[in-house]
Structure 1
Amino acid sequence: MTREEAEDLLLEAGAAKDGEFPLLDAAIACAVHEDPTRELQPARDLGAAGVERLTQRLKRESPEEALAETMAGDMRLAGDLLTHEHPANADILSVAERRKGIAVALGIYYLHVARRCGLSVSGVDFPGHFLLRIETEEGPLALDPFSEGRVVLPSELTRRALHAGLTPNVADRLDRLMAPVSDRAVLVRLQNNIFARASASRDYARAERAALRRALLDPGDHRPWLDVAAAREGQGALAGALEALARATALDGGAALAARAQRERVRLRLN
């Protein structure tokens, strides 16, 4: 798959309804868009093997136990504690090869495998740390894909929420802390992570690619184009930055003021 073909696939994913969003395929396309020289099949094979193992485990184990044992035990997926900031941890192809990564990248495999086996599992956009929500006969449970899929107790969720800066009246609201998000939002969160890390290291070309992928995945959102503009400006591509700002303004009138101010500043640099 070429980078151009990856962009076409992301465009198709962006146009898909939330219930039909091709999470794993779109995540693979994102990784190819970053580096088109790699082999895709191992990532797909990992997903298929996970489905096979989970199907067997569900015959004798509870859904939450079967999912955790399949992904962390059989598939050997775990959080990278030693080199957490390594770019490979946010790349789905590298995660399949190394069997470790950040929570949201690992969570994509959990979601793919669980859905193929009929489980009701969703991503949770928890502040500071991505989690999963699995529906069980006893009610919803929070799972941490970074910590081998272990169950996170309500008291721990509240503690984490307080540590992340949420106010006590919000941190006690488990319905809000465990609110499910769409698969699209999960993959956008992963690209946000890549963008933030690339921007912090002044790798503006990589930051631009991550922001562009967000724009393709969520075509109605103006904010990725603001980030594309910032990344292009960081590379000195001022004309391209202006083009991205114009796209942001066209998508959302609420962004017009910020985009217009940013655009005028870039124009002054051009002149």
Structure 2
Amino acid sequence: MALVAEELAELARLPDSALPLERMAALISAEHQGKVRAEDISDAFNQLAEEFLGTHPNPADPATLTRFIHEVAGFRGNTDDYYDPANSYIDRVLSSKRGIPISLALVHLCLAERIGLEAWGINFPGHVLVGYQGLDQAYVDPFSGRYLSLSDCKTLFKQNLGPRQAFSDHYLRAASPRAFLLRLVENLKQVHWRLRDWSVVERCLIQQSTLTPEVRDWLLQRGIVREMRGDLAAASQFYQEVIETATEATLKETAIKRLTAMGASKSTLH
């Protein structure tokens, strides 16, 4: 586990354009589950790519690959248990062929790279999408395998954020590998927060800090997690660090309020 964390930290120091998305997603899964090898995940993708290339002419096109992923290989959204943590682990998704939008988007990206297609993830609000070079004003919904027009995306946006929210084309921009990985970990963190599985939540926060060490919000959240676990001394240290290093006023204010409330709570104990 320590070696996995060290490799993830080493890779995270690379510039965005050089981040190996597949390997880092595999390392994220391995750090949470233990007996997961990034090489096995790579082998599974290689096998899928070989199967595709063995039955489809080269050069391939986005429509053919999308059809292969969803109709031939059988990947689809896990509508039965959307909040199952396994939906966020790429090794489990490759095994079960069930996932959530971001993990299924990763399947698209990893296979597209192997067969010579240019594809990118899109951190669309509430639902990750996939863009492909050659698809004009159309995007792939990796959860269903459907194509979405710009009009469809605007409708999905309103469904996710409400009718009063204004749509902008920037919501359809390509996500950097770092932003994509952050969202992958965020989904996993939110699932375990629901389950109040604080040890996993904190591991997710450490991974997010590894990806973006300059973000002080991760420290604030680690303080909250420690507070929830009853480790008030550690919580206090995290809050103090936020107060001393954060540039965002709202983060400082929240840390001060929680630290003050925590002190008041301690003073009532006899």
Quick one: which amino acid aligns to residue 18 of structure 2? E
Match of 1:188 in 2: 182
Change (3 A) 1:92 1:204: same
**Amino acid in the other structure paired with 2:103:** A
Cα separation, partners in 2 of 1:241 and 1:93, compared to 1, 3 Å: farther
1:133 pairs, out of 131, 134, 159, with 131
1:83 aligns with 2:81: yes
CA contact (8 A) 1:199 1:231 kept: no
Structure 1 CA distance for aligned equivalents of residues 239 and 52 of structure 2: 46
Q: Is the 8 A contact 1:14 1:219 kept in 2?
A: no
| C-alpha distance in 1 between matches for 2:115 and 2:243 | 42
Q: Unpaired runs of 5+ in structure 1?
A: none
Residues 220 and 251 in structure 1, CA contact (< 8 A), matched pair in contact too: no
Q: Distance in 1 between matches of 2:244 and 2:49?
A: 43
Please state how far the C-alpha of 1:95 moved relative to its aligned partner.
1.1
- 2:26 match: 28
| 2:139 aligned with 1:142 | yes
Q: Does 1:262 align with 2:258?
A: yes
Determine the C-alpha separation between the residues in 1 that align with 2:58 and 2:132.
17
Match of 1:165 in 2: 161
State the 1:40 CA deviation.
4.6
Q: Distance in 1 between matches of 2:92 and 2:214?
A: 29
Unaligned runs of 5+ in 2: none
Question: Which one has a bigger Cα radius of gyration?
Answer: 2
Label 1:267 to 1:37 Cα distance change in 2 as closer, same or farther (>3 A).
Answer: farther
Q: For residue 235 of structure 1, report the CA deviation from its aligned partner.
A: 1.2
Q: Percent identity?
A: 22
Distance 1:37 1:156 in 2: 41
Give the Cα–Cα distance (whole angstroms) in 2 for the partners of residues 263 and 116 of structure 1.
50
* Distance verdict in 2 for CA 1:35–1:169, change over 3 Å: closer
Asked if 1 retains the 8 angstrom alpha-carbon contact of 2:29 and 2:36, the reply is: no
Deviation at 1:53, TM superposition (A): 4.3
Partner of residue 156, structure 1: 152
Question: Deviation of residue 76 (structure 1)?
Answer: 2.7
What is the 5 A alignment of 1:77-116?
77-116=75-114
Are 1:208 and 1:231, in contact at CA under 8 Å, matched by a contact in 2? Answer: yes
- Relative to the length of structure 2, the TM-score reads 0.87
Q: Cα RMSD between the aligned structures?
A: 2.4
C-alpha separation in 2, matches of 1:53 and 1:250? 55
For residue 250 of structure 1, report the CA deviation from its aligned partner: 5.3
- CA separation of 1:191/1:222 partners in 2, compared to 1, >3 Å: closer, same or farther? same
Say if 2:137 and 2:149, in contact at 8 Å, map to a contact too: no
1:248·1:256 contact (CA, 8 Å) conserved in 2? yes
Distance 1:178 1:206 in 2: 31
Secondary structure class of the residue paired with 2:213: coil
Deviation at 1:248, TM superposition (A): 3.8
Does the Cα contact within 8 Å between 2:26 and 2:37 map onto a contact in 1?
A: no
Asked if the contact 1:132/1:142 (under 8 Å) is kept, the reply is: yes
Are 1:224 and 2:223 matched, yes or no? Answer: no
Q: What residue in structure 2 maps to residue 213 of structure 1?
A: 207
Equivalent position of 1:59 in the other structure: 58
Shift of the 240–14 alpha-carbon distance from structure 1 to 2, 3 Å rule, reads farther
Give the Cα–Cα distance (whole angstroms) in 2 for the partners of residues 248 and 19 of structure 1.
30
Amino acid at match of 1:258: T
In structure 1, how many angstroms separate the alpha carbons of the residues matched to 2:222 and 2:99?
A: 25
CA deviations on 1:191-243 (whole Å, 9 max, x unpaired) are: 11111121122111121111111111122222222222222221112222233
